[in-house]
């Protein structure tokens, strides 16, 4: 895999050498550095360069916000980026959902619920986004999606996953607030992130049967 990653990095560097002003190439390279290389310092610099080239691109702003949360636990920086992105694309389901994830994990329930409700309306059934949103509803706001668990289980059984999507802060918040099904919530978080097999949920689903 290391050789493939080296080839990919060389490709990105050639593309940027040919056109250093292409924000999409630079943004894709930032994603590669963050998600594949795990080089958070170079990724951060690359995201900053991307935003400088395309300050009104909601997609790049949202990617950088996600990175600031995952790599630096920078809630304030991520919030500012999400707000900039949503000012440009106010109905983007992914932006709404990702910002809701942050707010709900921070215990800012009122605004988090509002954004989550909007994201649910914008999402497609059985998509990875809907799977994540149903998790947030189950963990923090069950009244927004009473059938969140059946939807989640159906999507996961169909193979829907969000590999590497970090839900530990949301699990910790739900645990701190005394969620009555916290072990199920924690198991779902692991399966959604593709860190545990679907079979990990069997004990919980048998209890419901």
What tens digit of pLDDT does each residue of 151-187 get?
999 999 999 999 999 999 999 999 999 999 999 999 9
Task: Kindly tell me if the per-residue pLDDT of 32 is higher than 90.
Answer: yes
Task: Kindly tell me if the per-residue pLDDT of 96 is higher than 80.
Answer: yes
Burial of 208 (0-12, 13-18, 19+ CB in 10 A): exposed
> Residue written as tokens 């932006």?
95
Q: What pTM was computed for the model?
A: 0.93
57 — pLDDT class (breaks 50, 70, 90):
very high
Task: Kindly tell me if the per-residue pLDDT of 44 is higher than 70.
Answer: yes
pLDDT at 3: 85
Query: What mean pLDDT do residues 58-76 have?
Result: 98
Cα distance from N-terminal residue to C-terminal residue, the chain: 43
pLDDT at 1: 59
Percent of residues, the chain, with pLDDT higher than 90: 88
2 — pLDDT class (breaks 50, 70, 90):
low
Residue ranges covered by each domain of the chain: 1-90, 125-209
- Rounded to whole angstroms, how far apart are CA atoms 71 and 80? 16
Give the domain 1-90 fold.
1.25.40
Task: Kindly tell me if the per-residue pLDDT of 209 is higher than 60.
Answer: no
Q: How many helices (H) and strands (E) does the chain have?
A: 12, 0
pLDDT at 12: 87
pLDDT at 15: 85
- Let me know: does 202 contact 187? Beta carbons within 8 Å: no
């Amino acid at each position: 895999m290391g050789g493939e990653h080296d080839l990919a990095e060389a490709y990105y560097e050639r593309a940027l050498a040919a056109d250093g002003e292409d924000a999409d190439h630079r943004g894709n390279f930032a994603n590669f550095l963050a998600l594949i290389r795990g080089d958070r310092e170079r990724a951060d610099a690359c995201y900053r360069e991307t935003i400088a080239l395309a300050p009104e691109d909601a997609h790049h702003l949202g990617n950088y916000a996600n990175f600031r949360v995952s790599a630096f636990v920078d809630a304030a920086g991520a919030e500012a980026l999400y707000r900039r992105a949503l000012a440009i694309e106010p109905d983007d389901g992914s932006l709404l959902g990702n910002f809701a994830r942050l707010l709900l994990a921070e215990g800012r329930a009122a605004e988090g619920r509002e954004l989550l409700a909007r994201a649910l309306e914008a999402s497609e059934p059985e998509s990875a986004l809907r799977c994540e949103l149903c998790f947030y509803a189950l963990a923090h706001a069950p009244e927004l999606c009473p059938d969140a668990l059946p939807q989640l289980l159906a999507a996961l059984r169909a193979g829907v996953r969000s590999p590497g999507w970090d839900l530990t802060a949301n699990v910790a918040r739900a645990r701190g607030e005394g969620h009555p099904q916290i072990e199920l919530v924690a198991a779902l978080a692991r399966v959604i992130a593709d860190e545990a097999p679907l079979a990990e949920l069997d004990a919980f689903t048998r209890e419901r049967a």
